[in-house]
Amino acid sequence: MKETWKTRLRDGIKAKGKSQREVSLAAGMAPGYVNSLLNENENKDPTINNLIRIVKAAGLSLYQVLYGVEVDQETEEIIRRLQGSPQSRAALLQILKDRATEDAE
């Protein structure tokens, strides 16, 4: 079976020792909401806001669920801060490129 955000969410909830019902309720959703999202027979996708609430209630990382990549809190903060600032992204990218050039020499 291909790994998707749904399989990562399902596996993450199970790994945390929580039930789908428990996560649904903790996220402020109907008791069967997470189960209906993860049901392979239903082609249901949450809004991003609902997915964020579910992931937080499950104690998981949004990056892990969506992309299969674990991102620490410091990296997550850097990403958040760079999202709204093209100038900051460009400046950071230049610093990283310069650093890579220095390290290669």
51: which residues sit within 8 A by CB, 6+ positions away?
Answer: 62, 65
Residue 1 scores a pLDDT above 70 = no
pLDDT at 32: 95
66-91, pLDDT tens digit by residue? 988 888 888 878 877 787 788 888 88
Placement of tokens 């955000």 in the chain: 5
Contact, 76 vs 63, CB < 8 A?
Answer: yes
Mean pLDDT over 31-58 rounds to 92
CA 92/CA 88 separation, integer angstroms: 6
pLDDT of residue 103 exceeding 90, the answer is no
Task: Write out the DSSP string of 39-67.
Answer: -TTS-----HHHHHHHHHHHT--HHHHHH
Burial of 77 (0-12, 13-18, 19+ CB in 10 A): exposed
